[in-house]
Every structure is written in structure tokens, then in C-alpha cells.
């Protein structure tokens, strides 16, 4: 399998990207990495490691797209950027997958504009996996489509189902519509219309409306929503976890010596919890609906997160997720 990697994408690029890439090479025999970015910069980083040289191809790209640039304008202007070059490798059939920790806007727009949508897909969707209390859950979409039509959400559900089914070997994953009430008639114009469509889809295991309060339990495998609401749910979850653990820390600092001893005794437990909430364990978020394996790594990814994002492209590839999505939607149009 050949994987294109945006060598300059992310807050810790290129150091963490190269480090993660080398870790992935050592863990998986059957991959070859095409890393894009300024040749001289990447080579300096690569020179720090020993690895089978034939497994890494540096693809020179002189430009970098920053997160502050307008995505589509930047893609047009910076043809020689690490993101564009990495996406082209997939478009041209040289690579089977692409990973980037760079500008989310530019990467998603680039996936759609350069690689293109799968036939029959109205809008691709970004679909991260999150840790819940009783299991992993996936939100589709978390920001690629801020204003949605009801039909988009049905496609999100179908794509999410295929991904979750194949990647986590769950036969008939449960699907919920994020809504502010359980009853069918609750919600805004979008969710009311989407509920009707989802209910009619016999191919999915639709559980109805799921209130945001229930999302973190992990009892529903896949949650669909427009990208604005999905992003709000995702970021609120991350923010809550971080603030709550922060409050615990604040309170412990103010507390008695006895409580402080308590924390020391609890260290192994707290470590397990932190691990559970560590997105770096989960790799990146697949961008479902584009005609290629496209993984958006977190902007603040470290080497382990990049390694796991590469692992994720492998799982995506080995399980034929792309072919299944193509088949599902080719029959629709």
C-alpha cells in the first residue's frame, strides 16, 4: 500500500510527521510512504533515522498552506504546496491514501476539488471516532458541511454505517440523529425533515433522535448531524473533558495533604482515563464520500498520532471501505 503524507501539515510538522512516519514503517511491513514538502527540510529530518530507504519517497513541494489562508484560494494559488502535492499523488493513482495534519479547510476542499466525490455522493463528510463511556462513537459530519439538506444526513448515515461496520466489525451499528428532543416532531427544520427520511431507510439501524446528553455514553455508534452541530458536539466534548479534569486539578491543588495523597494513589486510574480520552490513540478523522482514502489528522498531532493516522489508512484500505461506499451509492444514481 502506498500512502501520501503531507510532510508540512500540523503544528508539529515536519518533525512529528517524519517521526510518526518512521514509527509506522517499522510497525507495518506492507506500506510505502510518499512524503511531500521542501526536499531539503524533509531530508534533514529523515537523516535522523535508520529505515529501509526504498520505503520512503520524498516528493518536493516548496509551498505550505497555513490554517489562516482561505482554503480554496490557497489551493488555487499554491499548486506547489505539500497538501496539493499529496492530494495529486492519490488523484494520479500513485498512492492509495493521503494523510494530512494541515489546514482542515484546505485539506477538505482539496480532497473534493482534486480527488473528487464518489459518484452519487452529494457531500462528503468528516467523521471522527470518539471515546464514549461504554464504547466508541462516530459523528458524521463535524464541519465539512455547515449548512445541510436533509438528504445529506441520510448519506452520512449510510457512509458511517459502512465505515463503522467494516473497521470495527460491528454487524449492524446503531445510528442516531442528533436532536434537542427525543420525539419525532422535535427539532429544527433540518432535523424534522431528516428524521422522516432516515426512518424510511430500511438498510440502516436507525434509533431515532439522540439528545446530546446521551452522546458521550457511547450507546449509539454513529451520530449524524449537520457539520455545525456535529462540530459543536465534538468540541464541547473535548472542552468539557479538559475543563472537568482541570477543575479536578484546581480542587486538588487547593485541598488538604490527605486529598493530595489520594491523587497519588489514584494515578494509575487517572492515567487510564487520560488514555481513553486521548485522540492520539484514535488516529485522524476519515473524510467519507471522496473517491480516495483521505484522513485528516488533528492539527496538534504528535508522532504517535501520525503513526495511528497512517495505521488508520491501512485499516480503511484492508477492509475495502471505499469499494463498499462506491457500490452503495452507484446504485443510487
Applying CB under 8 A, does 252 fall inside the site for a second copy?
yes
DSSP type of residue 53: G
Phi and psi for 195 in degrees, rounded to 5? -55, -45
Q: Does 272 bind a second copy (CB under 8 A)?
A: yes
Residue 29 in grid coordinates: 511491513
Residues 88-127 that bind a second copy (CB under 8 A): none
Q: Is 73 near a second copy (CB under 8 A)?
A: no
Are the C-beta atoms of 177 and 153 separated by less than 8 Å?
Answer: yes
Q: Does 231 bind a second copy (CB under 8 A)?
A: yes
Applying CB under 8 A, among 247, 278, 281, 318 the residue interacting with a second copy is 247
Task: Tell me if 300 contacts a second copy by CB under 8 A.
Answer: no
Does 330 sit near a second copy (CB under 8 A)?
no
> Among 14, 132, 173, 286, which residue sits at the site for a second copy (rule: CB under 8 A)?
132
Q: Which residues pair with 295 in a beta bridge?
A: 99, 286
| 250 lines the binding site for a second copy (CB under 8 A) | yes
Q: Which residues pair with 175 in a beta bridge?
A: 206, 222
The answer to whether the CB of 233 falls within 8 A of the CB of 178 is: yes
Residue 238 touches a second copy, criterion: CB under 8 A: yes
- The verdict on 69 binding a second copy (CB under 8 A) reads no
Provide the minimum distance between the beta carbon of 67 and a second copy in the complex, in angstroms, as a whole number. Answer: 9
**Interface pick for a second copy out of 55, 244, 278, 318 (rule CB under 8 A):** 244
In angstroms, the Cα distances linking 149 to 122, 145, 170 are 10, 10, 28
Q: Read out DSSP for 298-321?
A: -TT--HHHHHHHHHHHHHHHHTTH
Q: Closest distance between a second copy and the C-beta of residue 9, in Å?
A: 18
Dist. CA 164–CA 325, nearest whole Å: 12
| Residue among 92, 258, 331, 333 that touches a second copy (CB under 8 A) | 258
Listed ranges 85-93, 160-168, 244-252, 308-316: which one lies at the site for a second copy (CB under 8 A): 244-252
Residues 6+ apart with CB under 8 A from 62: 38, 80
Q: Which of 46, 215, 290, 321 binds a second copy (CB under 8 A)?
A: 215
User: 40: burial class by Cβ within 10 Å (0-12, 13-18, 19+)?
Assistant: exposed
Pairing of strands 129-131, 136-140: antiparallel
178 belongs to the binding site for a second copy (CB under 8 A) = yes
Q: Which is nearer to a second copy, 54 or 185 (CB)?
A: 185
Task: Using CB under 8 A, list all residues that contact a second copy.
Answer: 68, 70, 132-133, 143, 146-147, 178, 180, 183, 185, 187-189, 191, 211-218, 226-229, 231-248, 250-252, 255-256, 258-259, 261-266, 268-269, 272-273, 276
Amino acid at each position: 500500500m502506498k500512502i501520501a503524507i503531507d510532510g508540512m501539515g500540523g503544528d508539529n510538522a515536519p518533525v512529528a510527521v517524519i517521526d510518526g512516519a518512521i514509527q509506522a514503517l517499522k510497525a507495518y511491513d506492507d506500506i510505502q510512504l510518499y512524503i511531500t514538502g521542501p526536499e531539503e527540510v524533509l531530508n534533514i529530518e529523515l537523516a535522523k533515522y535508520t529505515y529501509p530507504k526504498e520505503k520512503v519517497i520524498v516528493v518536493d513541494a516548496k509551498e505550505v498552506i497555513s490554517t489562516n489562508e482561505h482554503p480554496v484560494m490557497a489551493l488555487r494559488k499554491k499548486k506547489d504546496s505539500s497538501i496539493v502535492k499529496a492530494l495529486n499523488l492519490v488523484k494520479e493513482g500513485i498512492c492509495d491514501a493521503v494523510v494530512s495534519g494541515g489546514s482542515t479547510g484546505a485539506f477538505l476542499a482539496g480532497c473534493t476539488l482534486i480527488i473528487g466525490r464518489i459518484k452519487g455522493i452529494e457531500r462528503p463528510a468528516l467523521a471522527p471516532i470518539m471515546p464514549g463511556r461504554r464504547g466508541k462513537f462516530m459523528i458524521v459530519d463535524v464541519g465539512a458541511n455547515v449548512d445541510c439538506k436533509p438528504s445529506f444526513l441520510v448519506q452520512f448515515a449510510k457512509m458511517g454505517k459502512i465505515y463503522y461496520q467494516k473497521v470495527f466489525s460491528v454487524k449492524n451499528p446503531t445510528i442516531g440523529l442528533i436532536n434537542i428532543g427525543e420525539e419525532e416532531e422535535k427539532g429544527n427544520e433540518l432535523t424534522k425533515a431528516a428524521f422522516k427520511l432516515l426512518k424510511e431507510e430500511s438498510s440502516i439501524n436507525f434509533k431515532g433522535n439522540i439528545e446530546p446528553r446521551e452522546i458521550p455514553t457511547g450507546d449509539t455508534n454513529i451520530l449524524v448531524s449537520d457539520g455545525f452541530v456535529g462540530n459543536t458536539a465534538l468540541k464541547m466534548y473535548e472542552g468539557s473533558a479538559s475543563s472537568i479534569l482541570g477543575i479536578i486539578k484546581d480542587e486538588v491543588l487547593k485541598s488538604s495533604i490527605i486529598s493530595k495523597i489520594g491523587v497519588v494513589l489514584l494515578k494509575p486510574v487517572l492515567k487510564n482515563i487520560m488514555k481513553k480520552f486521548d485522540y492520539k490513540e484514535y488516529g485522524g478523522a476519515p473524510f467519507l464520500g471522496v473517491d480516495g482514502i483521505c484522513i485528516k489528522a488533528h492539527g496538534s498531532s504528535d508522532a504517535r498520532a501520525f503513526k495511528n493516522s497512517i495505521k488508520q489508512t491501512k485499516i480503511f484500505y484492508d477492509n475495502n471501505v471505499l469499494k463498499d461506499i462506491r457500490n452503495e451509492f452507484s446504485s443510487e444514481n
